[in-house]
Amino acid sequence: MRLFIAIELPDEIKKQLEGMRTHIPGSRWVPLEQIHLTLAFLGEVDDATLDLLTWALATIKATGFNLCFSGIGCFPDRRRPRVLWVGLEPEPLLNSLAFLVREAVLACNIPQEERPFSPHITLARLKFPPPREVGAFLDQPRKQELPPVGVREFTLFQSLLTSQGAVHTPVKTFAFSPP
Ligand code: 2AM
């Protein structure tokens, strides 16, 4: 099973993020139902490892926090943008959750990239080098404030690759223990 771990966002927020779309040639906008905040990408995981993983994730003790949205940005940089995203204000409890998730994943012998966790919500992926519309998108003034989102759980997702694109299905949700 191809898996990743993410924080789900309320439908209202996903609608507002979807509303930020503009016309950019060669862009693939993330469909509303697939907008999420990735904590870890796992790739293919076998059934035995999945059992181990769900056990390891269930032992995570995390504290609830609020996600506060910040500006729009891109990866890897403005000269060669491939991914357009909305960023998040620094939140130590989010970083701590991502760290605990990463430790649990590594403990199951699932390899993880070395690069540091850089919290973002992907809005679009670009197929070819930046048309001038990308600059306009990145420089747009903020039209509306996105309200903060309370986070009390995270979700293990399956990502099934189909000819129509990826289909994401929640496998298991892990609620933070009450304070
Ligand atoms: P991102 O969009 O937040 O950067 C599910 O596929 C999620 O896993 C994607 O939304 C992406 O997060 C993240 N991901 C990281 N590495 C990936 C990879 N090699 N292939 C697919 N998704 C990856």
Q: What is the mean pLDDT of the chain?
A: 95
Please state which CATH class domain 2-175 belongs to. Answer: alpha beta
Tell me, in angstroms, the distance from the centre of ligand 1 to residue 30's CA.
11
pLDDT at residue 173, as a whole number: 98
Tell me, in angstroms, the distance from the centre of ligand 1 to residue 115's CA.
13
Range 2-16 average pLDDT: 98
**Structure confidence by residue, pLDDT tens digits, 77-123:** 998 999 999 999 999 999 999 999 999 999 999 999 999 999 999 99
Q: 38 CB under 6 A from ligand 1?
A: yes
* Domain range annotation of the chain: 2-175
Range 146-164 average pLDDT: 97
Q: 34 CB under 6 A from ligand 1?
A: no
pLDDT at residue 143, as a whole number: 65
> Model-level pTM?
0.96
Tell me, in angstroms, the distance from the centre of ligand 1 to residue 43's CA.
9
Which residues have a Cβ under 8 Å from the Cβ of 111 and sit 6 or more positions away?
none
